[in-house]
Amino acid sequence: MTNTDLTALTGDYTIDASHSTIGFTVRHAMVTNVKGKFDEFSGSLHLDGGDPSASTASIDVKMDSIDTGSADRDGHLKSADFFKIEEFPTMTFRSTKAEALGDEDYRITGDLTILGTTKPVTIDLEFNGAAKDPFGNERVGFEGKAEIKRSDWGLTWNTTLETGGVLVSDKIKLNFDISAIKNA
């Protein structure tokens, strides 16, 4: 049974990475989408059911954990052409503002740091509910999405196609499925 009394949900939560996804979609060769995700990340949420604007989120992503289903592509993304993981092993998000939009919809704005560059990002979230799992954990779930331009963070590597256009689009669609457990 899910719990939608937001006041009862007030508290601190730890993101359950084994039941969450931080992913992305990017247009490739102007004709298809390539999807990927990060397999290793950690984070925390502070939810304030009485005043959602006082809620916060913090996430750290290990860039070495990128997985697009192609070892060669993953290796290229980890290289100096893209994420430079030797120099910048972590991508971070720190919220700066939270808003209740009505119904189950929320918006969280924060600072996304990639390659040592920090820029604001706004994520639209849908609250999926709360429940006690079979192990006695109080869980909450959110789905989120955002769009960014990778060039804003210095991710500019590309190549021109013979037919016109570029190999990798500048626009990246981010998607999140977050399950978090209330701290005891």
Q: Residue-wise pLDDT tens for the chain (184 aa)?
A: 344 567 889 999 999 999 999 999 887 756 678 899 999 999 999 999 889 999 999 999 999 999 999 999 899 999 999 899 999 999 999 999 999 998 889 999 999 999 999 999 999 999 999 999 999 999 999 999 999 998 899 877 767 656 666 566 788 999 999 999 999 8
Both structure tokens of 128:
């999926």
pLDDT of residue 92: 97
Location of structure tokens 């092993």: 89
Location of structure tokens 């669609």: 173
pLDDT of residue 2: 42
pLDDT of residue 157: 73
DSSP three-state, residue 78: helix
| CA atoms lying within 13 Å on the CB side of residue 109 | 8
| CA atoms lying within 13 Å on the CB side of residue 47 | 25
Both structure tokens of 151:
């060039």
Alpha carbon of residue 62 to chain centroid: 12
Q: Give the C-alpha separation, 112 to 90, whole Å.
A: 11
Q: Give the C-alpha separation, 60 to 25, whole Å.
A: 19
Both structure tokens of 89:
């092993």
Q: Give the C-alpha separation, 53 to 111, whole Å.
A: 16
Both structure tokens of 65:
């954990």
pLDDT of residue 1: 35
pLDDT of residue 102: 86
Both structure tokens of 49:
């059911």
pLDDT of residue 37: 96
pLDDT of residue 89: 97
pLDDT of residue 61: 97
pLDDT of residue 31: 66
Q: The dihedral of CA 108, 123, 77, 36: what is its sign?
A: positive
Q: Quote the DSSP letter at residue 154.
A: T
Residues 6+ apart with CB under 8 A from 87: none
